[in-house]
Amino acid sequence: MLKTILTLTFLILSLSACSNEKEAAKPATDKPALSQLEQIKQAIPSLNISAVQETPIKGLFELQVGRTIYYSDAEGKYLVSGGNIFEVGSRRNLTRERLEELNRIDWSTLPLDKAIVSGDDNATLKLAVFTDPDCPYCKKLEEELKKMSGVKVYTFLYPLVQLHPQARAKAEAIWCSEDQHDMMLKVMVDKFIPEKATCTTPLDDIAAVAKKLNINGTPTMIAGDGRIAAGGKDATALKAWLNHQ
């Protein structure tokens, strides 16, 4: 009986010792988390990060900033915000760059004979723009294009009549005018109301091309190398985009 009690006592003590060893072997969770927090906060000082925790994805950390959540790698070199991954040091939007690469358009498929040509005829930089005469952002883009040099621009009239019912009539008047680019600027920048046009236009063909290329909004810009961008840019940003800067 005594032998049995001693044996059980030994087993209990052994299990307790093993348990203590396992507990001692466990890393302290607070210290690494604090270290990770400080490391990422130092790497991304522009964010007021209140907490950092691991996510189910190995190497990806959740950053709590107020009521917003961002994600980063362990070193705080890359930042995921709104579904986009940014390189913190250069502020490059890596997701956008990747999407531009995946969505490149073959420039040779654009019907350039149906575009209004303007800008520098001898320029090496080329830009295609799908525009709507009544689109406010398109009007702003035209004002920026007037400031630029060294770019040859091909403008495709693409009126979105479901948004701007009068846009098609204006687009027809622009195409049928003697000086198409001048009339386009008058209509879009100077708010000139043109007379009704009577000539044949390529508007339906342009709309078919836009549909094929999944262009659903205006302005939509296509660089000479096929990169596509929705929305406008100011002259400086647009020139940088065309030059891959």
Same domain, 118 and 190: yes
On whether residue 221 sits in a domain, the answer given is: yes
Q: Which domain holds residue 176?
A: 107-242
Q: Is the pTM of this model over 0.85?
A: no
- Round the CA-based radius of gyration of the chain to a whole number and report it: 30
Inside any domain, residue 10: no
Indicate the number of domains in the chain.
Answer: 2
pLDDT given for residue 30 in this prediction: 52
> 222 in a domain, yes or no?
yes
> Do 83 and 203 reside in the same domain of the chain?
no
Rounded Cα distance, 141 and 230, in Å:
12
Q: How confident is the model at residue 172 (pLDDT cuts 50, 70, 90)?
A: very high
Give yes or no: residues 82 and 151 share one domain. Answer: no
**Least confident piece of the model among 51-55, 137-141, 227-231:** 51-55
Mean pLDDT of the chain: 86
pLDDT tens for residues 177-226?
Answer: 999 999 999 999 999 999 998 899 999 999 999 999 989 999 999 999 99
Whether residues 234 and 115 share a domain: the answer is yes
Question: What is the CATH classification number for the domain harbouring 48?
Answer: 3.10.450.70
Residue at a domain's end among 94, 124, 143: 94
Q: Work out the pLDDT band at 67, boundaries 50, 70, 90.
A: confident
CB burial readout 28-39, b (16+ within 10 A) else e = eeeeeeeebbee
| Strands lying side by side in the sheet with 151-157 | 116-119, 151-157, 125-131, 220-223, 228-230
Within a domain: 145: yes
Q: What is the pLDDT of residues 113-164, one digit of tens each?
A: 999 999 999 999 999 999 999 999 999 999 999 999 999 999 999 999 999 9
User: CATH code at 222?
Assistant: 3.40.30.10
Q: What is the mean pLDDT of residues 23-36?
A: 53
Q: Are residues 136 and 211 in the same domain?
A: yes
Does residue 117 sit in the same domain as residue 179?
yes
